[in-house]
Amino acid sequence: MDSPELRRTIIAILSGPKAQKINFHCGTRTVNGSIFSQVIDRLRKDKIHIDAARSDLDPHTKAQYSADDRTLMFKSRFFGAIDSEQGVIVHESVHAGFHVIGHGERFMRIDNEPSAYLAEAFFLLFSNFSFDQLDRFPEELQLAFTIALNMQSKKQSSVSQDELVLLRNAIARFGIHFLHKDNRHGTDKNKYGRGIPP
């Protein structure tokens, strides 16, 4: 079910100062305001769809991006009312943004999920979350938040190789696949390499 109000919410979050402030390199990936602007553009042109009130999402999954359908899926059309949900929107929008620009040969998909978790972590950091507030959040997000704090304190724009390996391993350990779940079966590299045209 398309939700114009949720579409407006997502555009407002991605164009807002907290999302636009995100700027880092994670392995072969870069996440910054430009990525979110690309998603905003495709949302406005209805080249990325919104599907709200999805009852078939995994019980532990609040939102998901489907590259096959070019669709951001949510359990509720009211999603995004609180900062933690807005962080999830940022996370899934990173996947959508990578789909927009295409994967090509120069990007490693192993960096996609760590990049999305770090973007979510930076969004929460810019929303004045503290580590103590994340005790019920996934452990991979807690680790990403710690890395974001460390990067901020050292004024680093790139994830160190050691921290990237730690985050990749945490994501693998807690059951999140390196290949985003909608791209796992995509054997046609060109399908995802081309991106979403303007």
Q: Tens of pLDDT along 39-85?
A: 999 999 999 999 998 878 887 888 999 999 999 999 888 999 999 99
- Comparing 7-11, 139-143, 164-168, 172-176, which segment has the lowest mean pLDDT? 172-176
- CB distance 125 to 92 below 8 Å: no
Average confidence score pLDDT of the chain = 88
The neighbour count for residue 111, using CB atoms within 10 Å, is: 22
Cα Rg for the chain, rounded, in angstroms? 15
The neighbour count for residue 8, using CB atoms within 10 Å, is: 13
Q: pLDDT digit string (tens) for 21-52?
A: 999 999 999 999 999 999 999 999 999 999 99
pLDDT at res. 61: 86
Taking the C-alpha atoms of residue 8 and residue 3, their distance in angstroms, rounded to an integer, is 9
- DSSP track, 80-108: TSSHHHHHHHHHHHHHHHHHHH--TTT--
